Amino acid sequence: MSIRFEVKRNLNVPKEEAYKALLDLDSARQWMQGFVGIERLDQGPMQEGSQWKETRRMFGKEATEQFEVVELNEPEKIVLRCDGTKGTTGKGEFVFTYSLASTNHHTEVTLNGEINGLTGLTKLFGKMMAGSFKKACAKDLDSLKEYLEK
């Protein structure tokens, strides 16, 4: 059973700009909450299959997780997968689907988060932590909005 959450934000920029910003790892330090560093595990332009390790300070500790681009449909959809077994979390799979839609020269970004593969106590804690993940994702989108609208 999956644990799911959704966050929506309206950005006062064209969706092409929002799409590019979500994939621009070099600018992440400008807006990403708790940013410590990012290490690309491949080279070249961001594409399906691209991977990186992202280190952030979350919940008072540094955590490193490995991300992979699962799907790109420019400029409307980005799907990222975090394999928890390859990072600090140690368990689970986290899927982040960003859908971008234009509305009156603005972009509505909808982030659907899905947490899979948790069992036993981690499943119970996962349900309790879903609210924290949602808040963290909302803060990230708020920070991205502020960064892009400057």
pLDDT tens digits, residue range 42-96? 999 999 999 999 999 987 899 999 999 999 999 999 999 999 899 988 888 899 9
Tokens of 21: 């910003």
What pLDDT score was predicted for residue 67? 97
What pLDDT score was predicted for residue 22? 97
pLDDT tens digits, residue range 113-150? 998 887 666 666 666 677 888 898 999 999 999 999 99
What pLDDT score was predicted for residue 125? 67
Under 8 Å CB-to-CB from 100, ≥6 apart: which residues? 15, 18, 19, 75, 76, 77, 78, 107, 108, 109, 110
Counted residue by residue, the chain has a size of 150
CATH of the domain at 138: 3.30.530.20
Looking at the structure of the chain, the number of domains it has is 1
What pLDDT score was predicted for residue 130? 76
What pLDDT score was predicted for residue 139? 95
